[in-house]
Amino acid sequence: MNDKDSLYQDAIKEFARAAHGHGQLAAATGEAKLDNPLCGDRVRMQVSVTSGHVAAIAHETKGCLLCRAAASVIGLHAAGQDANGIEAVAHDLEGMLQEGAPVPPGWPELSMFEPARRYPSRHGCVLLPFRALLAAMAESEMKRVQR
Partner 1 sequence: MNTMDTPLRDGFPLLAASPDLHYLDSAATSQIHRSALDAVARHETTCRANVSRGTYRLAEAADRAYEQARQTVARFLNAGAAGEVIFTSGATASLNLVAHAFGNTLKAGDRVLISVAEHHSNFVPWQMLRDRTGIELALIPVTDAGQLDLARLPELITGNCRLVAVTQCSNVTGAWTDVATLVEAARKVGAKVLLDGAQAVQHGPQDVRALGIDFYAFSGHKCFGPGGVGVLWGREELLAKLSPFHTGGGMIGEVTPQATTWAPPPQRFEAGTPPIAQAVGLAAALEWMMTLDWQQIHARESRLCELLVDGLLRIPALRLLGPESSAARAPIVSFDIPGLHPHDICQVLDARNLALRGGHHCAQPLMAALGIDVCTRASIALYNDETDILALLDGLSFALRELA
Binding site for partner 1 (CB under 8 A): 7-8, 13, 38-42, 62-66, 119, 122, 125
Judged by beta carbon, residue 13 or residue 20, the one nearer partner 1 is 13
The least distance separating partner 1 from the CB of residue 65, rounded to whole angstroms, comes to: 5
Judged by beta carbon, residue 54 or residue 127, the one nearer partner 1 is 127
Dist CA 125 CA 15 (whole Å): 14
**What are the residues whose beta carbons fall under 8 Å from the beta carbon of 89, sequence distance 6 or more?**
81, 104, 106, 107, 110, 130
Which one, of 31, 22, 39, lies nearest residue 135 by Cα? 31
Judged by beta carbon, residue 58 or residue 64, the one nearer partner 1 is 64
The least distance separating partner 1 from the CB of residue 128, rounded to whole angstroms, comes to: 12
Judged by beta carbon, residue 64 or residue 90, the one nearer partner 1 is 64
Dmax (CA) of the chain: 54
Dist CA 64 CA 136 (whole Å): 21
The least distance separating partner 1 from the CB of residue 146, rounded to whole angstroms, comes to: 31
